[in-house]
Amino acid sequence: MSPYNVAVYSTRNDLAERLRGAWSVVDNGDDRDGCRIAIIDSDSHARLDAPAKKNLFRVVLFDSDPPPNRRNGELRVERAAFLRSPDEYLAIGVDLCDAVTHASQLEQEVGYLTQIHELMTMVEAEAVSERITETVLSILGFARGTLFLHDPRLERYVVSFSNDPDLRDSTEFLPGIPPDVLQKALASPELFAISRASDGRGMMVMPLQVQEDLLGVIKIMIERDDAIAPEVAANVTKYLNAVAQVLSNIYQLTRSRDLAMRDDLTKAYNRRFFETYLDEEIERSRRYGAQFSIIFADLDDLKSVNAMYGHLAGSRTLQEVAKRILNAVRGIDKVVRFGGDEFCIILPQTDPEQAMLVANRIRRALSASSLQIDNDVEVSITASFGIATYPFHGMSKEQLISQADAAMYRVKSTTKNAVGVAEVASVPQP
């Protein structure tokens, strides 16, 4: 039996009955529009004016005179001749469909190879993640998706790219993805799994795995009526197989470069990274008319820890503080050890009110419980915070740093363990 369904458009029963057994016949309903091969009987020529949709090959039957204006992909045959040997004519259709399908697959594979070449020239993990996620969404015809990448510093998966306005990042191991759905996707030869709620809405989960390493996970939000055709599913699987290794290579390169930008003690970013990245964030926000915020955090009374327990305990305190800060922010936020006992957090696409929420989350994370520095040493630590937001509190790197630093020192010189916001009126004009 042919791998292709044959759509039959006819009001007479003899045509469909002649084909049954040797061919998979679809002779009623809208399902006929999805068949690659179609037969238009002599009594159904009005159908010739309708769009072919997915038909690649159409046999047009006639009783005496063939219809005018033959179209591409149409074979016009006298009805009686067709009924004598339909297999001969339909075999031509199978060959044509095979050729078109193969050509389409080759074109698609060339497209994947071209994109892989382009991805290999890109060194920013965020840009690569955006390209991969948008390509998957394009293949599926869906709108919203998120790519999570594993962050070994945090020992969890963080958002590398998302265009989902409903996404809520968190400190979960894999935010918003149930473990059983992930396991189902990992076990699937199609490299994805779908989970729906009772209302039909849900998610499609696609792991990006290289050998035994789960490098990342794509999460696509699906609506009640969203469906995935088998050929679309096959295309997604091919694409994920093609890009997983490339993403792995770029990820490893990015991680190696990333390590050079890390503070050796706390593994937060260092001052060199801060200087470069803040310039880039200002330019990015200026170009797109976006906001971003920075938070300066200065530990309160770290000197007393050094005096009581020694500098080694002070270093361990800084390490534990960095861990708590990293676990309290989003994957896209950058935590920097600015110097000594001072940290800076850069928050892309964040206004002052949102930055205040983040700063207070960090403040609570630091003061909620003591830090276990050694087996018999526990330290309680707090910090003073200052917030400045581009462009409200400054248009340049120097202005933002000065404003956030001043807001932090106002807190440190009064209450400590609180959050201050820069004063807009004091921003010098560029």
Mode of pairing for the β-strands spanning 371-374 and 377-379: antiparallel
In this structure, what is the dihedral angle of CA atoms 98, 99, 105, 106, given to the nearest 10 degrees?
150
How far is the CA of 60 from the CAs of 21, 35, 74, 89, 308, in angstroms? Answer: 21, 15, 7, 11, 94
Highest mean pLDDT among 146-150, 373-377, 397-401: 397-401
Instruction: Tell me the C-alpha distance between 206 and 70, whole Å.
Output: 44
Per-residue pLDDT, 430: 35
Per-chain mean pLDDT for the chain: 86
- Average pLDDT, stretch 17-43? 87
Instruction: Tell me the C-alpha distance between 206 and 325, whole Å.
Output: 30
Supply 212's token pair: 């035994």
Q: Is the pLDDT of residue 428 over 60?
A: no
Q: Is the pLDDT of residue 429 over 60?
A: no
Q: Which domains occur in the chain, in start order?
A: 5-98 (3.40.50), 122-260 (3.30.450.40), 271-426 (3.30.70.270)
Per-residue pLDDT, 257: 63
Per-residue pLDDT, 330: 85
Structure pTM? 0.48
Per-residue pLDDT, 348: 92
| Residue 7 near residue 26 (C-beta atoms within 8 A) | yes
| Residue 164 near residue 221 (C-beta atoms within 8 A) | yes
Per-residue pLDDT, 346: 96
User: Nearest-CA neighbor of 320 among 339, 293, 343, 348?
Assistant: 343
Instruction: Tell me the C-alpha distance between 331 and 159, whole Å.
Output: 5
Taken as a whole, the chain contains a residue count of 430
How far is the CA of 13 from the CAs of 22, 25, 28, in angstroms? Answer: 16, 12, 12
Per-residue pLDDT, 19: 92
How far is the CA of 298 from the CAs of 9, 102, 295, in angstroms? Answer: 77, 63, 10
Within 13 A of 175's CA, how many CA atoms are on the CB side? 19
- Average pLDDT, stretch 353-365? 95
pLDDT-wise least confident of 21-35, 105-119, 133-147, 235-249: 105-119
Per-residue pLDDT, 373: 84
Per-residue pLDDT, 399: 94
- Which amino acid, 367? S
Mode of pairing for the β-strands spanning 202-210 and 145-151: unpaired
Give how far the C-alpha of residue 88 lies from the chain's centroid of Cα atoms, to the nearest Å: 48
Instruction: Tell me the C-alpha distance between 94 and 41, whole Å.
Output: 19
- Average pLDDT, stretch 147-154? 77
pLDDT tens digits, residue range 242-274? 787 777 776 666 666 666 788 888 889 999 889
Q: How large a percentage of the chain has pLDDT more than 90?
A: 42
In this structure, what is the dihedral angle of CA atoms 74, 76, 80, 82, given to the nearest 10 degrees?
-40
DSSP state at residue 14: H
Q: Is the pLDDT of residue 315 over 80?
A: yes
Instruction: Tell me the C-alpha distance between 178 and 205, whole Å.
Output: 10
Q: Sign of dihedral through CA atoms 177, 181, 183, 188?
A: negative
